[in-house]
Structure 1
């Protein structure tokens, strides 16, 4: 046990423990986003044809994206359930439950018969599994970030809060890479069993995540709240009653990192293959390159948050995303391989700047006894809106007669919302915690 007492009875943990916790949070969120992004890619390439089979490809794609959005709609329920439990019984216990549920549901999707085998039961069961996945994800990220930050020295919170965020591009690399590999199979093999392999891979990944999660220590701050009996009796209700401005501003700052990402990946994969006629491998390759660059951006973003503050970094990333939105879509519309990869990568890199500092910013908005609930609810309010972004972009594409102008304006609008909320955030920060790390002092 690396936790010990510091000055004036303040609990401390070693920096080595902080790194271990941040790594454990990262592995869990990597599995979370692998599973979640896997569904988004499959919605574009598989579910529209095999589970939502209709005579109209546009209607089938809209139905598949609607089931994708269901997972996001369920995330606030997960935030309420696990936010309450995380602020009452502990961060670590909840994170073990959420990662188990995410992995199990994803593997079950890989075993589910399609529409041509069991008829209408197939899309219904798929949507129900997606809903369960959304509930689990609703409690996962907020807990992972909270645990990482509460083990981190105040002066290094930016980098530790960015660690769970790196799980997003790693999850993208794994999911897109898995689909890229199976997409080389003959069409008949891909449709019958090939697409299932990436989902079934969730079983061994879950085993690794559980092993790491069980070795983590509980948050020293939560242990202190227990000792001093300072837990909120109803944290979710208290957040809604007393911290709703932080809730709305926090959700706005998180919108671009999630919603913008799904627009430039999930929607663009569908747009590129269905409307522009590009091969699947090109769009998946663009996503892979963008995810690799995103890892570097997230690491840099964590350092920038420590130097300039997460709110300023959020505003800068949002402004950059708005500025490059049209040039990036112009490059995608050329269908030239290098231009497509460049366009997707540039936008992903810029919208990843606010995402890199989202954990640091959200945890500053809420006091310790409401933190798990507040962070989870903020992130998942943004998640609900984000889940409908591919659906909205597809509808706007149809409204614009196949032109990318309206979907691009949607990306600009999301960027402006995040930038505006980033400007408002510093006025709502809750202040520093009393718990620190060995060698660090409280403010």
Structure 2
């Protein structure tokens, strides 16, 4: 039973979506946006401690630099409130254009900033301000793209099409690392003067490309119908907190699995290239490229599996498996063996983590109705992601003065994997619930039978009015 009284208009199905076009736009846009976001992570681990902070205290500079990586996650909940509201009132497409342009501009400006040697203390302050703008932009990108692809997708392939958002994110991470590999090989004097600026200045292209790609993307059929009926009127946040507060909390807890990504991408890179281990910058960057390349293949496969067997079991494979594999990966780094690091990194981040990472847009998006979907996804994920962002700084502290306490960092990461697993395991299965009934109140999502309202277990969604 729906949370809102049925009316005649509900018996008319929405127009057919354009899943391929929406998926391509989400993939390309997310790749461009997260290229910007992830080049900051590489720079925070390898470059910024010497460029934006006092070089007389390298250990402190590294700690603070990694802390600035997490600053973006502090502003993401605020960005989620604003962009989620705009997306549920004005449409997904407008938010997707806005987020990409904002990310491109703020990243380009990082490449123009004066350094600590040039202006002293104001340099890191300006860096933090630009990082905060990156966080605001990122807050709406994945929720907007995820909502767009989910609402365009056929009901039996929502997981697959929604996964293009995260697949694009992984591609952006590959692109960011590939750009940084030749930059990282520059002599230190060139690297720390002008070389580090190149990846950031390239973001001018991101802003232009993002506008061109997304300006002509059609709004989703479900949002168009909601708008025609006047449903999005009012404040989506009020409806969200009244009708979906439990789902928001569930998404917050589940989204803390993102700690795996930030520990792998930033802290492990810093640890591996530190004096405690002494691995080279370039080989470790190639670990990230290789793992993300594997993820490009693994994510759609896991997502397609979730369309067949459900979101919950696939997510749990990824979250629980990551809680185990973090020990294998950090342990491999501690040995200083490049073959072990590559093997563990590919299995951990490329395969296992992709099970959780690739299907969360569908898993989280299916918890909410159209009128609050972008707000619910954005707010819930960004609070959870904020934990993951600051996990890097906390890991640097618990690793000890020499930075080699990897077991403590692994336990810390595994704890969040357990929390996210518990949140999802106690939730509803929604992979067979018709799109128009997602987020409906008054009955368990999916019909409460584990078959998405298909009591006979035939594997087909219910035939109901859209």
TM-score (norm 1): 0.93
Who is 1:3 aligned against? none
Would the alpha carbon gap of residues 387 and 401 (structure 1) be closer, same or farther in structure 2, given more than 3 Å must change? closer
Q: Secondary structure at the match of 1:426?
A: coil
Cα offsets for 1:316-374 (capped at 9, x unmatched):
11121122222222211111111111222222121221111100101111111110100
Who is 1:358 aligned against? 360
Equivalences for residues 268-307 of structure 1 within 5 A: 268-274=268-274, 275-307=276-308
Cα offsets for 1:172-208 (capped at 9, x unmatched):
1111111101112221111111111111111113322
Match of 2:404 among 384, 402, 421: 402
Would the alpha carbon gap of residues 321 and 148 (structure 1) be closer, same or farther in structure 2, given more than 3 Å must change? same
Who is 2:424 aligned against? 422
Who is 1:262 aligned against? 262
Who is 1:9 aligned against? 12
Q: Secondary structure at the match of 1:55?
A: coil
Report how many residues are paired. 432
Q: Which runs of 5+ in 1 are unaligned?
A: 1-5
Q: Secondary structure at the match of 1:11?
A: coil
CA contact (8 A) 1:254 1:354 kept: no
What is the distance in 1 between the residues matched to 2:114 and 2:173? 25
Who is 2:131 aligned against? 130
Cα offsets for 1:419-438 (capped at 9, x unmatched):
111102217999533399xx
Q: Secondary structure at the match of 2:15?
A: strand
What is the distance in 2 between the residues matched to 1:179 and 1:116? 23
Who is 2:110 aligned against? 109
RMSD over aligned Cα atoms: 2.1
What is the distance in 2 between the residues matched to 1:115 and 1:441? 63
What is the distance in 1 between the residues matched to 2:209 and 2:356? 29
What is the distance in 2 between the residues matched to 1:408 and 1:114? 34
Larger relative helix fraction: 1
Who is 1:99 aligned against? 100
CA contact (8 A) 1:314 1:418 kept: no
Q: Secondary structure at the match of 2:218?
A: coil
CA contact (8 A) 1:221 1:368 kept: yes
Who is 1:193 aligned against? 194
Q: Secondary structure at the match of 1:74?
A: helix
Who is 1:67 aligned against? 68
Who is 1:367 aligned against? 369
Cα offsets for 1:249-291 (capped at 9, x unmatched):
11222222x2201101210110011131111012101111111
What is the distance in 2 between the residues matched to 1:148 and 1:361? 13
Who is 2:338 aligned against? 337
Give, in angstroms, the shift of residue 7 of structure 1: 10
Give, in angstroms, the shift of residue 237 of structure 1: 2.9
Would the alpha carbon gap of residues 295 and 123 (structure 1) be closer, same or farther in structure 2, given more than 3 Å must change? same
Who is 1:145 aligned against? 146
Q: Which runs of 5+ in 2 are unaligned?
A: 1-8, 439-461
Would the alpha carbon gap of residues 167 and 429 (structure 1) be closer, same or farther in structure 2, given more than 3 Å must change? closer
Who is 1:384 aligned against? 386
